[in-house]
Chain A
Amino acid sequence: MQIMKLNPKVIIYDDGYVYNSETGESFFINETGKIIIDLIKQNNKFEEIKSYFLENYDIKNNEFERYFYEFIDMLKFQNILRDE
């Protein structure tokens, strides 16, 4: 998987409120989504993010991957995340 970077025009607030200043659109992400975004912000790669969740949450490998990619696709569709 390519390195993922957050769109610098996107502001993510601590409470999960996301404002895309490029489009004027805004929405909320839940606590888990916020953790994933924070890990991406810290330049963690997919394997590192996966390890974090498998260690800290009661979730199976394939289950995590399905939800993770679904979430990432949504972030890319909303132009919050870009492949480097």
Chain B
Amino acid sequence: MNKRKLKIALSGLNATDNPGPGVAVARALKESEKLDCELIGFVYENLEPGIYMENMFSKCYQLPYPSSGQEVIFERILYIHNKEKLDVIIPNFDSELNAFINLQNELEKVGIKTFLPTLEQFEARQKTNLIEFGKKYNLDVPKSDNIYSIAELHRILNNYSYPVVVKGKFYEAYIANGYEQVVMYFNKISEKWGLPVIIQEFIKGTEVNVIALGDGNGNTICYVPMRKLYITDKGKAWAGVTIDDDNLNELTYNFFKKTKWRSALELEIMKTSENKYYIMEINPRIPAWVYLSVGAGQNLPESLVMLALGENVKPYETYKKGIVFIRYSWDLITDLEKFKKLTLYGET
């Protein structure tokens, strides 16, 4: 079979203890049976490990941080596109998505394809909007309130029993067992991530995660559920196993049917002892453990690229159960050449 030659740029090459998905996405694309991918890395930091991995990225370019504004990002992408003639871009950070969603028409005009959620979908699943999302689509989500000042806490906490979860609007979450702890975490989180801070009902249960891809028409193209076997102190999966839970399968297929979600996502779900499934978070991009989907028989990044190209992609019908992934750390040895180039010129 002749593989289709493509040049694909992607970000998230920070394969650290809190890893971005980029290296796993790259690995999946390199193993594609349909696509012959040359990969370009979009990086923010000089020491993102993916930059230095052999035979993975033919070239890496620094991108301006998302806070620089989408015009600046677009200008930089145009510079890269002039040199590389990109076919597809896969942004792998939550923080990049807003800019890329807004830029997708401009990118399309210059010949770069993306496959992203709509702006409405991206906004609707924000942690601060999760309650409304649950109501709209009849999905179980934990009770939560958005708090803008400590003065509101007493009143809001009357509606909760301890422990409660105190969450930042982008990252971080802590379990608080009393009022004083809630105040402490409120201050800590608001200082770092701004307001609002989210107070959420604590749901006791088993955490399961889903990686999936929707075509935007209500169809689930890829779907692999996983239970974390080992987590880091940041709560990230260091090992996991594919599972087969009928209720979870139904929940996911219904999710895509109801929301018509376009693009990849990760669902973080808490399964209680009463067999209720609460959606704790919806991450609107490919998760770092995506290579497990390839191991289980579904190459999700390949399908995402095919959808970006406007192909008619047939949904996967099955995946292997009981497939395990175990992450590991590995010391790459390299000279200063790439580091020097990236520091001086912003590209390798």
Contacts and interface: CB of A to CB of B under 8 A. Distances in A.
Contacts of B244: 9, 21-22
Nearest to A11: B322
Contacts of B184: none
Interface string A1-34: 0000000010100000001011110000000000
B227 A23 contact: yes
A20 B149 CA distance: 46
A64 to B, nearest CB: 31
A9 B229 CA distance: 18
B322 A23 contact: no
A9 B244 CA distance: 7
Contacts of A19: 322
B209 to A, nearest CB: 10
Interface string B123-142: 00000000000000000000
B200 to A, nearest CB: 24
Contacts, number: 25
Main DSSP-derived SS at the B contact region: strand
Contacts of A24: 208, 226-227, 229, 240-241, 243
Contacts of B206: 23
B245 interface: yes
A24 B245 CA distance: 9
Centre residue among A19, A21, A22, A24 by max chain B CB count within 10 A: A24
Interface string B242-261: 11111000000000000000
A19 B323 CA distance: 11
A21 B296 CA distance: 13
B321 interface: yes
Contacts of A9: 244-245
A39 B229 CA distance: 31
Contacts of A11: 321-322
Contacts of B321: 11, 21
A63 B321 CA distance: 38
Interface string B217-233: 00000000011010000
A23 B271 CA distance: 10
Interface string B315-327: 0000001100000
Nearest to B206: A23
In the A-B complex, the 5 residue pairs with the smallest Cβ-Cβ separation, listed nearest first, are A24-B227, A21-B244, A21-B321, A24-B243, A24-B241
23 contacts: A9-B244, A9-B245, A11-B321, A11-B322, A21-B243, A21-B244, A21-B321, A21-B322, A22-B243, A22-B244, A22-B245, A22-B246, A23-B206, A23-B227, A23-B243, A23-B245, A24-B208, A24-B226, A24-B227, A24-B229, A24-B240, A24-B241, A24-B243
Given A11-B322, A23-B245, A24-B241, 11 more contacts: A9-B245, A11-B321, A19-B322, A21-B242, A21-B244, A21-B321, A22-B245, A22-B246, A23-B206, A24-B208, A24-B226
